[in-house]
Structure 1
Amino acid sequence: MTARPLPRTDRRFTLLGAPYDGAATLGWPGSRYAPARIRAAMAWILQRREDGQIYCLDHATLHPFPEDLLVDGGDVHTVGHDLDATLDAARAGVADTLAAGRTPVLLGGDDCLLYPAARGLAESTPGTVAVIHLDAHLDLLDENEQQGRYSHSSGMRRASELANVDVSASVQLASRHFNFPSSLAFREKAGLRNIPAAEIHRRGTEAVAADVLAHVAAADRVLLAFDIDCIDPAHAPGAGAHEPGGLTSHQALDLVQRLAPYTDAMVLTEVNPLTDANDRTANLAAYLVAHFVVHGGLAAPSHEGAPA
């Protein structure tokens, strides 16, 4: 049997918003409006709960969904002119949620928020942390004049520098097209694995998810970092940047279903209502969160065809 982390069971989740896009120095700003739009879309999904259960048509199973399975913890304290204060508030929100015995789901905002999510998880465990990073881009930029050190292009680089983040147990998924040669050099030196979108299309999500779980099994805790631009803009037009050739909405949802039981926190970033079309991307983001909670929370009956 392929090695994988132990599934996390009997969990409860807290939704946190981080309405901040001050580090979106490239692409389109506007992701500060995403938490509100994703929450509105979540209401459409959550009204389907009945008697503490919800029915998943994908696998023909009833899942437990008590009232406290997912609660809204509000927004972390964001300061529009102060990146450092915002990053620290996001870190504290993730850490405080974990200290309360709940699993955080942080909604950005731009992708600078990957770093404080990783830091909040890393500082909350004595063991090691792996990052599963779904993104069209590598986000390994160290520093430059226009973007500084903590922009949406540097989240994974800064996370990799945390003392107990195990870079060699981490993996990036769905990257594509072009990036900085310096980022390639860092990735190779650090031993950070990359599975580009083209490989996911060739191999399929079931095989890739099993491969990812075997890879991150070397770490004690796992962060699922999901930049919405890992999805093709045909399926997610409301993003900070458009990179063709990405995941389909089905592939993204299937990966989240398969990975959710083995991860300890989620950060979802770069949904941009200003470039969205009739809230299609915010709605997809809400379903990604819902599947993370439903498939990563309380145990459901086993069934043929379920993510394994």
Structure 2
Amino acid sequence: MEETVASDMMRYPRFEGIRTFMRLPYEPAPVACDAVILGAPFDTAASFRSGARFGPEAIRRISSLLRPANVHHRVRPLDWLRVVDGGDAMVIPGNTSRSHDLIEAAVSGWVSQGAVPITLGGDHSIALAELRALAKHHGPLSLIHFDAHGDTWDEYWGERYTHGTPFRRAVEEGLLDPARSTQIGIRGTVYDPDDIEEGRRLGFAVWTIDEVRQRGLDGVMTAARERAGRAKVFVSFDIDCLDPAYAPGTGTPEIGGFTTHEALALVHGLKGLHLVGFDVVEVLPALDVAEITALAAATMVFEFLSLLAAAKRDAAGQPG
């Protein structure tokens, strides 16, 4: 990749430059590339606290802190990938359906150019729009979903399109293959004791936080990889999978969640899968403390890029 501020941080202080993700080149229209960072600043479908519409901005701002090399994967993503920041999809506050259409169109444009989209939310309803775009190109996908909540409820207040319903809608629309999909970290209070079974009834493998800690992180990720097999995988990372001690800036926090160290180990366990799309959602900067929630989200995005780079390096037969 050509030299940019992003690729030579030893020459340019990290606080300089326009706040694209890691100061990547900004491309407002789809171009051929390996991966694209997209914002989806939509939070009208949130059920409690609003403000995740400012999540993409906060994630981009703190991402300038990140350095260019990944020690775990022993790779510099920009040595292997052409990555750009595609800016934000257009959204319309108050209009969930139209905003989803616009997000879907934005993601589709980049996928048609060969890019793997990494989307910054926004509330979790945006995942449905992403999945619609990706499934048109790839067919039904495997889902690996890190979250405190299953987001498989049928409706809220008679509304079928909220941040608590995207994965039920995705199954109904044939966008996901539940038999190859896994939800990890589910916990917290529910409306009924059987609510935890909703995802399982849809066909997902569902790991509660207690089950993860009993089985162990490696065991759970081994099971998730085996379930996905050779399928194309979409990874959705809701920041509230983290305990609010590590991610206070989110709309529906639940105590008893993962540490950031555990989350990194889980994401490292995605290595070897056929990864075709990612998102990080539900960052609410107005309730963040010292930008630690946004930093956790930005770091997960960097880990996603590192997974793509490591896969390309390994396919080329180069040592790590």
Normalised by the length of structure 1, the TM-score is 0.85
1:136-151 matched pairs, under 5 angstroms: 136-145=148-157, 148-151=159-162
1:12-31 matched pairs, under 5 angstroms: 12-26=34-48, 28-31=49-52
Say which SS state the counterpart of residue 104 (structure 1) adopts. Answer: strand
Normalised by the length of structure 2, the TM-score is 0.82
Cα drift, residue 98 of structure 1: 1.3
Cα drift, residue 261 of structure 1: 4.8
Q: Which amino acid aligns with 2:234?
A: L
Q: Which amino acid aligns with 2:137?
A: S
1:102-155 per-position Cα deviation (integer Å, ceiling 9, x unaligned): 100011101111211121111112x43111111101111112326x11111111
Is structure 2 residue 122 aligned with structure 1 residue 109? yes
Question: 1:230 is matched with which residue?
Answer: 241
Structure 1 contact 260–293 (Cα < 8 Å) conserved: no
1:55-78 per-position Cα deviation (integer Å, ceiling 9, x unaligned): x3346x243524963210000011
Question: 1:76 is matched with which residue?
Answer: 89
RCO (CA 8 Å, sep 6+): is it higher in 1 or 2? Answer: 1
Task: Give distance in 2, aligned partners of 1:164 and 1:80.
Answer: 25
Question: 1:203 is matched with which residue?
Answer: 215
Task: Give distance in 2, aligned partners of 1:185 and 1:257.
Answer: 27
Question: 1:57 is matched with which residue?
Answer: 71
Task: Give distance in 2, aligned partners of 1:188 and 1:258.
Answer: 22
Is structure 2 residue 255 aligned with structure 1 residue 251? no
1:214 corresponds to which of 226, 229, 239: 226
Structure 1 contact 79–86 (Cα < 8 Å) conserved: yes
Q: Which amino acid aligns with 2:91?
A: T
Question: 1:296 is matched with which residue?
Answer: 308
Question: 1:154 is matched with which residue?
Answer: 165
CA change 1:32–1:261 in 2 (3 A) is farther
Q: Which amino acid aligns with 1:97?
A: W
Question: 1:34 is matched with which residue?
Answer: 55
Say which SS state the counterpart of residue 29 (structure 1) adopts. Answer: coil
Is structure 2 residue 108 aligned with structure 1 residue 86? no
1:192 corresponds to which of 204, 207, 210: 204
Structure 1 contact 63–299 (Cα < 8 Å) conserved: no
Question: 1:179 is matched with which residue?
Answer: 190
Structure 1 contact 260–292 (Cα < 8 Å) conserved: no
Q: Which amino acid aligns with 1:246?
A: G
Where does the alignment leave 5 or more consecutive residues of structure 1 unmatched? 1-10, 304-308
Structure 1 contact 136–246 (Cα < 8 Å) conserved: yes
Cα drift, residue 38 of structure 1: 0.4
Cα drift, residue 43 of structure 1: 1.7
Q: Which amino acid aligns with 1:280?
A: I
Task: Give distance in 1, aligned partners of 2:206 and 2:197.
Answer: 13
Say which SS state the counterpart of residue 289 (structure 2) adopts. Answer: coil
Structure 2 contact 75–306 (Cα < 8 Å) conserved: no
Q: Which amino acid aligns with 2:241?
A: C
Identical pairs, percent: 32
Question: 2:146 is matched with which residue?
Answer: 134
1:218-263 per-position Cα deviation (integer Å, ceiling 9, x unaligned): 6x31110111000111111111122111111011112222215522
Q: Which amino acid aligns with 1:243?
A: E
